[in-house]
Amino acid sequence: MMLTAEFFSRPTLEVAPELLGVTLFVETEQGVCTGSIVEVEAYLGSDDLASHAAGGPTPRSSVMFGPPGRTYVYFIYGMHHCLNFVTEPDGIPGAILIRSLKPLTGQDLMMTRRGKSAVANLCNGPGKLCQALAIDRTWNNLSLEESQCPKIHLHAPETKVAFTCLPRIGIGKAKDLPYRFLATC
């Protein structure tokens, strides 16, 4: 079953673990790639100092305050992109960062884009998976429910996936909050 805005219109910390095991489907002119979501991080609003939304809306973070079920893609460290999905009802900020995927289909295309041959190194990081899927800033604020090309969809797993909860990584503030979710096994 395909995930829609309704799925994302809930508390971010409730949605985040449910994204584990979800299949990410991405289609470009070059072809289709899919992967299973293995690791995510939740980012909230004013109570979460590590969140882009912590200080209120800015030109970049305004997407996080908008309607749920849309992409939030930003450019970081002068060379990488990060893929998020917007959560919470319109007007309330929230997003979930996709940190790691298990590649399922389109591995050849991902290897070409990454310049790597080891499957294990294709999508095991937020910047890597964006490179493997050819996701850049032009993918910001896209709906998951539209079907043009480029196309990005999410499909729920048949059964829920077990997970663990750990502190987020790669951040300087709010390091202690356990908003990082990993699929176990």
Interacting residues toward DNA by CB under 7 A: 41, 43, 50-53, 55-56, 58-61, 64, 72, 74-80, 82, 84, 95, 97, 114, 116, 121, 125-129, 168-173
Q: Minimum Å distance from CB 156 to DNA?
A: 22
Query: d(Cα 167, Cα 129) in Å, to the nearest integer?
Result: 21
Please answer whether residues 150 and 27 qualify as being in contact, where contact means their C-beta atoms are separated by less than 8 angstroms.
yes
The nearer residue to DNA, 162 or 169, going by C-beta atoms, is 169
Q: Minimum Å distance from CB 42 to DNA?
A: 9
Q: Minimum Å distance from CB 54 to DNA?
A: 8
The nearer residue to DNA, 9 or 61, going by C-beta atoms, is 61
Q: Minimum Å distance from CB 57 to DNA?
A: 8
The nearer residue to DNA, 160 or 175, going by C-beta atoms, is 175
The nearer residue to DNA, 102 or 128, going by C-beta atoms, is 128
Please answer whether residues 158 and 7 qualify as being in contact, where contact means their C-beta atoms are separated by less than 8 angstroms.
no
